[in-house]
Structure 1
Amino acid sequence: MSEALVASRAPGTDTSVPGVSGARQFWRRLRAQRAALVAAGIVALLVLVALAAPLLTAIEGQDPTTYHPSLIDSARGGVPVGSLGGIGGDHWLGVEPQTGRDLFARLAYGARVSLGVALAATLVQVFIGVVVGVAAALGNRWVDQLLSRATDIIVAMPLMIMSLALLAIVPSSFPRPVLVALVIGLIAWGNIAKIVRAQTLTLKELDYVSAARLSGWGAWRIARRELLPGLAAPVITYSALLVPQNISVEAALSFLGVGVKPPTPSWGQMLTAADVWYQAAPQYLLLPAGALFVTVLALTVLGDGVRTALDPRAASRLRVGTGRRREAMADAGASAGATTADAGAGTVHASSGTVHASSGSADASTGSADASATKEAKA
């Protein structure tokens, strides 16, 4: 029944049900944004490097954990031997100070950790947030109040402090990347739950959802068949913006020493070890910091492009508003021109009336003169 209502809507209305044509429109709008395409290419390259890290390091002939003491100048405190941090054919980006481990291998494997933790944490956040938000919107008043207050508590929790506390008490035998992803995901799902609840409350009032409810569908069937397709756009948009945020959180936790533990490489962990080498070996600090900056920036730009492609009305509001202002100014100009023309016509009519009045006065004077002449003739 609800499907019939959706199909019978007027052309041009948004049914919020994604299909083949909707996917084609999304890709066409996304391709129209050059910045989003460049960001997508950078993200794809980073993901490819992360996935192909074993192959790339095998081509280089290095690995991320092997020490090379012969490439370190002990007399200078552990600075790499050679120019630019020991860059050469055997070590494409040089080696680490004090240890001599290959920087390219550690950056490639660090991308796996940073991107993997961020994506896993985002999936946990989205799953919990969607379930809680939909349950709060479809439940009765007490369920809504209970879940909404729980969401407020989660949002009010300081993410970094809670993560530090939880990561400090968990045994080190637990896999650290998995633990970091779980901690971030379990603490930071409040905002997406609020977004999903607000959007679900809006979708509940639409006709096709009401028709599905009147036809006897259960709450979870309505949520799965009618509400979740409508929630896809805001959830995907917010998820695309969560990934760079989670990358930054993972890097900060590793920088503080409670994230991924050595010898597993991580960009945040590399920044922690590089804070005392920024003068003697600046590439050791600039490489992980630059990789982190480029990744976060590319994901942020891509997330904004996805938001615009999924909701083109947001991008066209400025153009529509400008067009309406131009139309209003044109109408005002036309009205002013018409008023001026009417005023000119009134002036012409008034002048004509004056001329007619002057003619009438002349005729009256002529009549008076004729009457006087007639009287004199009779006399």
Structure 2
Amino acid sequence: MSEALLAAQAPEAPASGASGARQFWRRLRTRRAALVAAAVVALLVLVALAAPLLTAIEGQDPTTYHPSLVDSARGGVPIGSFGGVSGDHWLGVEPQTGRDLFARLVYGARVSLGVALAATTVQVVLGVVVGVTAALGNRWVDQLLSRVTDIIVAMPLIIMALALLAVVPAGFPRPVLVSLIIGFVAWGTIGKISRAATLSLKNLDHVAAARLSGWSTWRIARRELLPGLAAPVITYAALMVPANISIEASLSFLGVGVKPPTPSWGQMLTSADIWYQAAPQYLLLPAGALFVTVLALTVLGDGIRTALDPRSASRLRVGTGRKQEPKAAGATETAKAATAKETSS
């Protein structure tokens, strides 16, 4: 009986998935701020991927020193107006070293976005594996993994990352190391989300039918549970990316993240704290890039969350079409008052 039920439902799955994708896109299109944020994120990713091409067009690279472009008598201030902006150096040069700012900025985008996406991938994989295993395991497995998850959630992320980064040999690639540490230290919340969602899904009829058909636990998790986990996992992962960008920038700012000569926005901010008066663009450019990236990813993540779950209200009041609600409410109240007046007369 259960096999017949599963066989009858199997052809409908692709259509249901396609319909769900269309509904998601329809809801997302109504949020103008999310679409603008998606365009900004796509542009940032394109710039990061095309960094070698862009710097080749400019004719510069992020590591070459240009001591002739800085005034050593004034402590290394760039020569020329606006921090040494010219046809050869589109955004000027770095104080003291004379390295090209445009090249370091676009290569820094590769590091910041790459570290954040890699760390988010590690968090999602670990969190989903531990959460699903805890929900499908016996009582002892669930208790053990739940306590481990609680410990991970309670750990102070920055302090743990500082401690681990300080003891790893300097020869290990820092971007990879930062990605792994952030991923291994901060997967606890998505593990809790995955466990709670799996506990709800495993009691549904189609999962019970699969279990009665003799399917293995792995096959049930892969075919029946993981598709149901997609919405909450994607929602939380979209909000984790900007948080991981901020963490990477914080670690680089503290001097334990990405090391020179590899460019990073947080590392540039570390060097710029004493140059904000003599060369303000050296501080404003990476700070502005971080602000725009985190804001765009946050708005996009909020739009994805509300599009996947239309019952949840958006945390942001921009681009959600909520300005029409007071007008509709006012029209409703006016209609009620007119009806009451006609009835009384």
TM-score (ref. length: structure 1):
0.81
- Conserved 8 A contact 2:66-2:99: yes
Q: Which residue of 2 aligns with 1:85?
A: 83
Q: Cα offset for 1:77?
A: 1.1
Distance 1:119 1:231 in 2: 19
The residue identity in structure 2 corresponding to 1:35 is A
Which residue of the other structure, out of 56, 59, 79, is the alignment partner of 2:57?
A: 59
Query: 1:181-206: per-residue Cα shift (whole Å, max 9, x none)?
Result: 00000000000000011111111121
Q: Which residue of 2 aligns with 1:377?
A: none
Kindly tell me: are residues 307 and 335 of structure 1, through their superposed partners in 2, closer, same or farther at Cα, counting changes over 3 Å?
same
The residue identity in structure 2 corresponding to 1:59 is I
Distance 2:76 2:85 in 1: 16
Kindly tell me: are residues 248 and 203 of structure 1, through their superposed partners in 2, closer, same or farther at Cα, counting changes over 3 Å?
same
Kindly tell me: are residues 336 and 218 of structure 1, through their superposed partners in 2, closer, same or farther at Cα, counting changes over 3 Å?
farther
Kindly tell me: are residues 85 and 77 of structure 1, through their superposed partners in 2, closer, same or farther at Cα, counting changes over 3 Å?
same
Which residue of the other structure, out of 154, 164, 167, is the alignment partner of 1:166?
A: 164
Q: Which residue of 2 aligns with 1:3?
A: 6
Distance 1:17 1:90 in 2: 54
- Conserved 8 A contact 1:26-1:309: yes
Q: Which residue of 2 aligns with 1:207?
A: 205
Which residue of the other structure, out of 94, 97, 118, is the alignment partner of 1:96?
A: 94
Matched, 1:39 2:37: yes
2:311 aligns to what SS in structure 1?
Answer: helix
- Conserved 8 A contact 2:105-2:265: yes
Q: Which residue of 2 aligns with 1:370?
A: none
Distance 2:160 2:121 in 1: 19
Which residue of the other structure, out of 225, 233, 236, is the alignment partner of 1:238?
A: 236
2:312 aligns to what SS in structure 1?
Answer: helix
Kindly tell me: are residues 331 and 202 of structure 1, through their superposed partners in 2, closer, same or farther at Cα, counting changes over 3 Å?
farther
Q: Which residue of 2 aligns with 1:186?
A: 184
Residue correspondences, number: 333
Q: Which residue of 1 aligns with 2:317?
A: none
Which residue of the other structure, out of 216, 220, 226, is the alignment partner of 1:218?
A: 216
Percentage identity across paired residues of the two chains: 78
- Conserved 8 A contact 1:17-1:229: no
Q: Which residue of 1 aligns with 2:22?
A: 24
Q: Which runs of 5+ in 1 are unaligned?
A: 10-14, 342-379
The residue identity in structure 2 corresponding to 1:202 is S
2:232 aligns to what SS in structure 1?
Answer: helix
Q: Cα offset for 1:221?
A: 1.0
Query: 1:81-113: per-residue Cα shift (whole Å, max 9, x none)?
Result: 111101111111000000000000000000000
Superposed counterparts of 1:1-379, under 5 Å: 1=3, 3=6, 19-315=17-313
The residue identity in structure 1 corresponding to 2:145 is L
Bigger radius of gyration among the two: 1
Kindly tell me: are residues 278 and 324 of structure 1, through their superposed partners in 2, closer, same or farther at Cα, counting changes over 3 Å?
closer
Q: Cα offset for 1:5?
A: 7.1
Q: Cα offset for 1:313?
A: 2.6
TM-score (ref. length: structure 2):
0.89
Query: 1:35-81: per-residue Cα shift (whole Å, max 9, x none)?
Result: 01110111011101100000000000000001111110112111101
Kindly tell me: are residues 324 and 86 of structure 1, through their superposed partners in 2, closer, same or farther at Cα, counting changes over 3 Å?
closer
1:163 aligns to what SS in structure 2?
Answer: helix
The residue identity in structure 1 corresponding to 2:118 is A
- Conserved 8 A contact 1:64-1:106: yes
Q: Cα offset for 1:24?
A: 2.1
Distance 1:80 1:41 in 2: 34
Distance 2:45 2:108 in 1: 11
Query: 1:304-352: per-residue Cα shift (whole Å, max 9, x none)?
Result: 1111121123249x99x999999999899989998x79xxxxxxxxxxx
The residue identity in structure 1 corresponding to 2:291 is F
The residue identity in structure 2 corresponding to 1:146 is L
